[in-house]
């Protein structure tokens, strides 16, 4: 794995810790790449404990000292990221280690939102809710995990909240009617950036989006947003500036039609590939995602994102990217981080070993609810396929546990609870069907007309 060009530790003790961390990192990467078997909890926990011991030693060496970032910090960050994703993969999503990867992604998203100054209230609400959930995880599992890790996560969560509060202040400066217009502008801007990065550029699609901007522009009076009495709304200038940016961007997109200069084509193609792969995963993640796979996407994105000089990329000859290229690449990076955030948030509290069963039960539950909402079934016979599938899953348990070989994977309670919900739904439908059949049998036969 590539390690950024950062200095080696000067302290001999830190050099030894770096060697230990590198060995742990290698073990984690080997475990991640092994697709021949499911990831076992015991394998992850052993490496987690080894990592925590190295963190303890680092803290003791650096206690009360200010140290510059060196290679040890980079490898440690990589190990923590991997361990966090492993905890998600084995289904321990409600424990402190699993929170680390999410805080990293949230920090990236917030940094980009701050840089771009283009974000919606929905963005901030989603991140705020996730931080609330992570805070709850830290409080509930504080006693079970290393104080070094808990303190590290608490500090990261606090920093994220500080950035989030600053972004929220910017939105609060807008009067409520302008917040609605602002949200529409953000939506149009993002739709335009999406259209700009499609494999086949559609001029008509971008023109329709530009027409929406012109509609908003037409509601201004002398370049200002005003109320019914002609009084300028608070934040009018800010929204007018954003509208101007959007209109200029629409003209640039229509002019360039998705064509990227040769000097930046490689970066563009890599980012398009990452964005498309993550988009597919977001549609099929319940069946195809192993959370540790997100590590590779993050590494690629981080490398491209951190290659910027003064916020911009340089082509092979050292020339900075023009505005069109810069915005296009930044959109793809931010969109990809957004997908990673969504996929981490969607991680089920079930080991990947049990996911096939869990996903089948999720599908069964949705089907049974749909049947119930559409009026139930006409006869008990119609429920046979559901009953047979539920019984076949129930029969897979050994002493009440779903086993994989000799292992008892994480998430037993979640799978058993979901199975019980499906049985309850199936039972309700069967009782209703039996009552329906009984009522039909008791109804008197219609009499023939004597005439």
The string of pLDDT tens digits covering residues 154-197 is 999 999 999 999 999 999 999 999 999 999 999 999 999 999 99
Residues 236 and 244: their CA atoms lie apart, in Å, by 12
Global confidence as pTM: 0.90
How confident is the prediction for the chain on average, in pLDDT?
A: 92
Residue 440 has pLDDT above 90, yes or no: no
Mean pLDDT of 293-313: 95
Q: Which two tokens stand for residue 256?
A: 């360039």
Residue 403 has pLDDT above 70, yes or no: yes
Determine contact, residues 366/359, Cβ cutoff 8 Å.
no
Q: Which two tokens stand for residue 130?
A: 């996730």
Q: Count of alpha carbons within 13 Å of 134, Cβ hemisphere only?
A: 29
pLDDT at 286: 65
Residue 409 has pLDDT above 80, yes or no: yes
Q: Tell me which of 125 and 143 has the higher pLDDT.
A: 125
The string of pLDDT tens digits covering residues 227-249 is 999 999 999 999 999 999 999 99
Residue 1 has pLDDT above 90, yes or no: no
Residues 80 and 98: their CA atoms lie apart, in Å, by 9
pLDDT at 227: 93
Mean pLDDT of 316-336: 96
Residue 317 has pLDDT above 70, yes or no: yes
The string of pLDDT tens digits covering residues 17-57 is 999 999 999 999 999 999 888 999 999 999 999 999 999 99
Residue 253 has pLDDT above 80, yes or no: yes
Residue 424 has pLDDT above 60, yes or no: yes
Three-point CA angle 17, 19, 25, nearest 5°: 100
Q: Tell me which of 68 and 428 has the higher pLDDT.
A: 428
Determine contact, residues 339/307, Cβ cutoff 8 Å.
no
Mean pLDDT of 112-141: 92
pLDDT at 2: 46
Residue 387 has pLDDT above 90, yes or no: yes
Residue 341 has pLDDT above 50, yes or no: yes
Residue 380 has pLDDT above 70, yes or no: yes
Percentage of the chain lying above the pLDDT 70 cut: 97
Q: How confident is the model at residue 117 (pLDDT cuts 50, 70, 90)?
A: confident
pLDDT at 284: 82
Mean pLDDT of 214-223: 94
Percentage of the chain lying above the pLDDT 90 cut: 84
pLDDT at 381: 93
pLDDT at 5: 66
């Amino acid at each position: 794995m590539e390690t950024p060009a950062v200095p080696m530790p000067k302290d001999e003790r830190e050099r030894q810790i770096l060697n230990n961390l590198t060995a742990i990192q290698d073990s984690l990467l080997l475990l991640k790449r092994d697709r021949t078997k499911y990831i076992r909890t015991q394998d992850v926990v052993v490496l987690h404990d080894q990592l925590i011991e190295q963190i303890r030693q680092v803290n003791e060496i650096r206690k009360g000292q200010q140290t510059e970032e060196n290679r040890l910090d980079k490898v440690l960050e990589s190990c923590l990221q991997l361990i966090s994703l492993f905890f998600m993969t084995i289904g321990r999503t409600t424990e402190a280690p699993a929170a680390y990867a999410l805080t990293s992604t949230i920090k990236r998203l917030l940094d980009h939102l701050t840089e771009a100054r283009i974000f919606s209230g929905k963005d901030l609400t989603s991140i705020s809710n996730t931080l609330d959930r992570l805070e709850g995880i830290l409080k509930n599992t504080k006693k079970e995990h290393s104080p070094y890790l808990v303190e590290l996560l608490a500090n990261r969560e606090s920093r994220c909240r500080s950035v989030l509060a600053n972004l929220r202040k910017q939105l609060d400066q807008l009067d409520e009617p302008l917040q609605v217009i602002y949200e529409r502008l953000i939506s149009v801007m993002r739709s335009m950036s999406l259209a700009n990065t499609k494999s086949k550029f559609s001029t008509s699609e971008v023109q329709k989006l530009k027409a929406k901007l012109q509609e908003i522009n037409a509601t201004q009076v002398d370049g200002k947003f005003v109320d019914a009495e002609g009084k300028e709304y608070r934040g009018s200038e800010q929204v007018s500036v954003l509208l101007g940016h959007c209109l200029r961007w629409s003209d640039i997109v229509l002019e360039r039609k998705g064509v990227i200069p040769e000097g930046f084509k490689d970066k563009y193609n890599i980012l398009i590939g990452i964005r498309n792969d993550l988009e597919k995963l977001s549609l099929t993640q319940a069946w195809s995602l192993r959370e540790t796979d997100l590590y590779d996407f993050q590494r690629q994105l981080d490398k491209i994102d951190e290659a910027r000089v003064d916020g911009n990329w340089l082509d092979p000859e050292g020339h900075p990217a023009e505005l069109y290229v810069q915005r296009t690449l930044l959109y793809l990076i931010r969109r990809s981080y957004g997908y990673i955030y969504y996929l981490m948030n969607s991680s089920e509290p079930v080991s990947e070993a049990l996911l096939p069963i869990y996903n089948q039960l999720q599908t069964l539950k949705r089907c049974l609810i749909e049947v119930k909402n559409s009026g139930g079934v006409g006869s008990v016979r119609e429920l046979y396929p559901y009953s047979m599938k539920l019984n076949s899953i129930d029969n897979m348990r050994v002493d009440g546990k779903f086993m994989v070989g000799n292992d008892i994977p994480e998430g037993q309670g979640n799978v058993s609870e979901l199975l019980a919900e499906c049985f309850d739904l199936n039972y309700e439908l069967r009782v209703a069907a039996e009552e329906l059949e009984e009522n039909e049998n008791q109804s008197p036969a219609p009499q023939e007309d004597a005439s």
